[in-house]
Amino acid sequence: MRLPLRITVLAASTVLAARAQDITGDWQGTLKPAPGAELHLILHISKAGDGSLKASLDSVDQSANGIPVSTIAFQNSKLTFTSDPIHGKYEGKMNTGGSMIEGTWTQITPMPLSWVRAVKPSDLDGAWEGVLDVGLKLRLILHLTTTKEGLGATLDSPDRGASGIAAVAKRDGNKFSFEIVTRGAKFEGTIAKDNSAIEGTFSQGGGQFPLTLKRGAAIAEPEPPKRPQNPAKPYPYREDDLKYPNAAAGIQLAATLTIPQGKGPFPAVVLITGSGQQDRDESLLGHKPFLVLSDYLTRKGIAVLRSDDRGAGGSGGDFAASTTADFATDTEAALAYLKTRPEVDPHRIGLAGHSEGGVIAPMVAARNRDVAFIVMMAGTGVPGDQIIVAQVIAGNEAAGMSHDAAEAAGAQQKRILDLVEQEKDEAVLKQKLQAELKAMPEAQFNSVFKQLTSPWYRYFLTYDPAGALRKVTCPVLAINGSKDTQVPPALNLPAIRAALQAGGNQHFEADELPGLNHLFQHAKTGALAEYAQIEETFAPEAMEKIATWILATK
């Protein structure tokens, strides 16, 4: 389901020797993509150990933190940077006083964008880096910024693929602390006289670990993660990049169709991504699950169509304004397109969805009787509000939190979701949520509030997948990993079985796969932090089960 983290890959570019003007620090800007619409942005710029610049971008109103800045340069007062994941670039010039950068942001169309420093930085502002030894060594990067409200802080954990984690920082003389309320973590330390280091103790889940943070420390970057399952070209099958329309939504969707060697027509499957904006490979934490799965299935004789989500890659549409029901129409458009391909058997076209995609597949199959089969990969069987509470409890326990503390976090999450579902007056809701989340910094609260009241979130909370499952008449394969902490199998597989049986479907299989997590990787605990560390992208036995089942389904 929707992951509470973003991937930050800070790629540095070569920069000339330091100039009188200093570009490092945090810059705030406001983008106006349409009349009356505003996007508030924060640009974090710092220096790597070799003196080159590195940066990341936050889109506060879209709850998108740590958007990678791929290249950045500052020369002769001119700032340029690009962000490949969002296909954006910026060019601007700093004024003589170094207080403002005026320029143009281009993302399909150019728009004016100026950056200003919010307030005068304190002597702690900047990036502080350290290594936490908890049995394995984890790099931490703490970003401190002086704001009008006080000292702001976010934390990156590059080795766990997490960035922009909101923290509450406090300073009292030479004593410094920060706390991550949502994760039960806290650091308390002492600032060195020369402000070069903060030495102290990091606490989480009952454990205490020494941690020294150093300003601008050059912590060695790890080797790029190995992804041995990623296929290499040339492929032993045909690959077509294409676009097809969703006429109902008035958009074009970009996709890749892989077609097996030999004489068709072939059985075919539409892959449906999980929640959060995804590309056609479902790229996540250095992994490309749908690239690996489509390669496997195509080699087995199954044609595969995988598409960029709305607003991602080459696809059009407004992702932020869409709900699961809207995404279902994108899948129906994919289904209609496959029927036009002569290489595809029109009577053997099915759907395979991961996570939220596993919710969409039954929605589509319930109202399209020509869907030949569906595969639910970690799909849900209960309403979203139950899923989110279960995620909080299972995820916190897997991350090392005590059972009682995880249950308490789950109880608070339920109180929050109850308020969102029951309180219709948005102003009153905001007041009640502020009372519940009083320890959360204002900027973080505003971001959380926007997410909680978004169209997608409100729809997801109350949608019950059992209704669609009871109407599905085609064969169904539902699989979950036993270590899935995002869609726990004990909660969801029995509900899926019960709904299919209640609807009279006699052609289904619902299996729990031992030792696999939400991404169908072999895992130790199932914690989200493991996803990036695991080299495997998709367990072979899971892919084999899917392929064998599809080919046997008539």
Dump pLDDT digits (tens) for 238-286. Answer: 999 999 999 999 999 999 999 999 998 999 999 999 988 899 999 987 8
Which residue has better confidence, 76 or 238?
Answer: 238
Which residue has better confidence, 398 or 540?
Answer: 540
Among the ranges given (115-119, 353-357, 360-364, 471-475), the one the predictor scored with the smallest mean pLDDT: 115-119
Domain boundaries, the chain: 25-116, 126-215, 238-382+464-552, 385-460
333: pLDDT strictly greater than 60: yes
3-state DSSP call for residue 482? Answer: coil
Whole-number percent of the chain with pLDDT over 70: 89
3-state DSSP call for residue 326? Answer: helix
* Residue 40 pLDDT: 73
* Residue 284 pLDDT: 86
Q: Where does the pLDDT of residue 10 fall: very low under 50, low under 70, confident under 90, or very high at 90 and above?
A: very low
* Residue 16 pLDDT: 26
Angle between helices 324-338 and 455-462 (to 10 degrees): 90
Among the ranges given (12-21, 190-199, 335-344, 482-491), the one the predictor scored with the smallest mean pLDDT: 12-21
C-beta atoms surrounding 518 within 10 Å: 26
* Residue 158 pLDDT: 76
Mean pLDDT of all residues in 35-63: 78
Backbone φ, ψ for residue 310 (5° rounding): -50, 130
Of 308, 306, 277, the C-alpha closest to 294 is 306
Dump pLDDT digits (tens) for 500-532. Answer: 999 999 999 999 999 999 999 999 999 887 887
Say yes or no: do domains 25-116 and 238-382+464-552 share a fold.
Answer: no
550: pLDDT strictly greater than 60: yes
Mean pLDDT of all residues in 396-418: 87
Mean pLDDT of all residues in 388-399: 88
468: pLDDT strictly greater than 70: yes
* Residue 17 pLDDT: 29
* Residue 461 pLDDT: 95
DSSP 184-245: TEEEEEEE-TTSSEEEEEEEETTEEEEEEEEET--PPPPPPPP-TTS--SSPSSEEEEEEEE
Mean pLDDT of the chain: 87
37: pLDDT strictly greater than 80: no
1: pLDDT strictly greater than 50: no
* Residue 60 pLDDT: 64
55: pLDDT strictly greater than 70: yes
Per CATH, domain 126-215 is 2.60.40: no
Q: Where does the pLDDT of residue 35 fall: very low under 50, low under 70, confident under 90, or very high at 90 and above?
A: low
* Residue 166 pLDDT: 76
* Residue 206 pLDDT: 62
* Residue 417 pLDDT: 94
* Residue 7 pLDDT: 24
Dump pLDDT digits (tens) for 178-234. Answer: 988 766 788 999 999 988 899 999 987 666 789 999 986 555 555 667 899 999 999
Alpha helices (H) in 222-355, listed in sequence order = 289-299, 324-338
Backbone φ, ψ for residue 419 (5° rounding): -60, -45
Q: Domain 25-116, what fold?
A: Lipocalin (2.40.128)
Residue 153 contacts residue 168 (beta carbons within 8 Å): yes
Which residue has better confidence, 459 or 207?
Answer: 459
Mean pLDDT of all residues in 430-442: 84
Q: Domain 238-382+464-552, what fold?
A: Rossmann fold (3.40.50)
H/E stretch holding 256: strand 251-259
3-state DSSP call for residue 462? Answer: helix
* Residue 182 pLDDT: 65
